[in-house]
A and B are shown apart, each in its own frame.
Chain A
Amino acid sequence: NAGVTQTPKFQVLKTGQSMTLQCAQDMNHEYMSWYRQDPGMGLRLIHYSVGAGITDQGEVPNGYNVSRSTTEDFPLRLLSAAPSQTSVYFCASSYSEGLSYEQYFGPGTRLTVT
């Protein structure tokens, strides 16, 4: 099993450009999430999904769109990139087992917006 895969690993965008960060998991997990990680701020939730066709906003959703057409894939779209979106983006999948929602993280995408 590959676990959670993310592409690309690095990306440089100019302000105003759009792009899609890809995320796929092969563990048949029902939950998937996107986080951004900035220095000194831990991980902040952007959007999440509890299953195919169901998505909801997290803590910092502005400027990002998501969709979940299949269990495996959860792409994150930047509509019009801004320098404030320079960050490391992590996709995660999880399942519920009692009170534990262990997150399985991908390797991350380092995005720079100039």
Chain B
Amino acid sequence: TQLLEQSPQFLSIQEGENLTVYCNSSSVFSSLQWYRQEPGEGPVLLVTVVTGGEVKKLKRLTFQFGDARKDSSLHITAAQPGDTGLYLCAGVGRGQGAQKLVFGQGTRLTINP
């Protein structure tokens, strides 16, 4: 069974601070996705990283896929209250059944003004 461990599960910081969320596994994934979920809504895709070592930037958010394609990180620079939400990583498997995503437990992020 493939598992994804996210850390931390909860993070509360002040506006303007930087933070990093980690997503780790012992399994290799063909790609890894990051979603953001607002209360009362379904998750929305932020980014997909595909190549080992790949770095993608989305404004103040930086996503990295580990060289071995087993882990990923999300770094937010100068966090703002609008970044508050639940962040989920999801691993895409390999070969048949690749569409069965494996989700981490989520990181609930609160940015205080």
How many interface residues does chain A have, given as a range?
Answer: 20 to 34
Asked if B101 contacts A103 (CB within 8 A), the reply is: yes
Taking A40-B105, A42-B104, A58-B100 as contacts, is the C-beta distance between A90 and B42 under 8 angstroms?
yes
Contacts of B4 in A (CB 8 A): 42
Q: Number of residue pairs across A and B with beta carbons under 8 Å?
A: 70
A29 → B minimal CB distance (Å): 10
Q: Which residue of B lies closest to A57 (CB)?
A: B100
Contact with A along B7-43 (1 / 0, CB 8 A): 0010000000000000000000011010100001111
Q: Which of B44, B92, B101 has the most CB of A within 10 A?
A: B101
CA distance A98 to B103 in the complex (A): 20
Is A2 positioned at the interface, with any CB of B under 8 Å from its CB? no
Partner of A105 from the list B44, B92, B98 (CB cut-off 8 Å) is B44
User: In angstroms, how far is the closest chain B Cβ from the Cβ of A111?
Assistant: 14
**Considering the chains assembled together, what is the distance between the CA atoms of A98 and B49 in angstroms?**
12
1/0 per residue, CB under 8 A from B, across A20-52: the answer is: 000000000001010100001111110010100
- A99 at interface by CB-CB < 8 Å: yes
- At the interface, yes or no: A76 with Cβ under 8 Å from chain B? no
Interface size for B (C-beta < 8 A) is 27
Is B48's CB within 8 Å of the partner chain A? yes
Closest to A40 in B: B105
User: With a CB–CB cut-off of 8 A, which chain A residues contact B43?
Assistant: 43, 90, 103, 105
A98 to B92, CA, bound (A): 11
Contacts of B105 in A (CB 8 A): 40-42
Question: How far is B99's CA from A92's CA once the two chains are assembled, in angstroms?
Answer: 11
Given contacts A50-B99, A100-B50, A103-B90, 15 further A-B contacts (CB under 8 A): A35-B103, A40-B106, A42-B6, A42-B103, A43-B43, A43-B88, A45-B100, A45-B101, A48-B100, A99-B30, A103-B35, A103-B101, A105-B42, A107-B40, A107-B41
User: What are 12 A-B interface contacts by the 8 Å CB criterion?
Assistant: A40-B106, A41-B105, A42-B6, A42-B105, A58-B100, A99-B50, A100-B31, A100-B92, A101-B92, A103-B35, A103-B45, A108-B40
